[in-house]
Amino acid sequence: MQSPSIRTFNDFGHSICQLNWTMILEITIDS
């Protein structure tokens, strides 16, 4: 049985990952 906190943490990590990729892409385009 998975605890809800684990699921929330996974969703949080996923959004952070997407945010990092967006920042990397923006930096790459800017330079």
Distance CA 5, CA 29 (A): 36
Question: What one-letter code names the amino acid at 1?
Answer: M
Indicate the pTM of the whole model: 0.43
pLDDT at 15: 87
Q: What is the DSSP string of the chain?
A: ---HHHHHHHHHHHHHHHHHHHHHHHHHHH-
Distance CA 10, CA 4 (A): 10
10-residue averages of pLDDT along the chain (31 residues):
78 86 87 70
Distance CA 31, CA 28 (A): 5
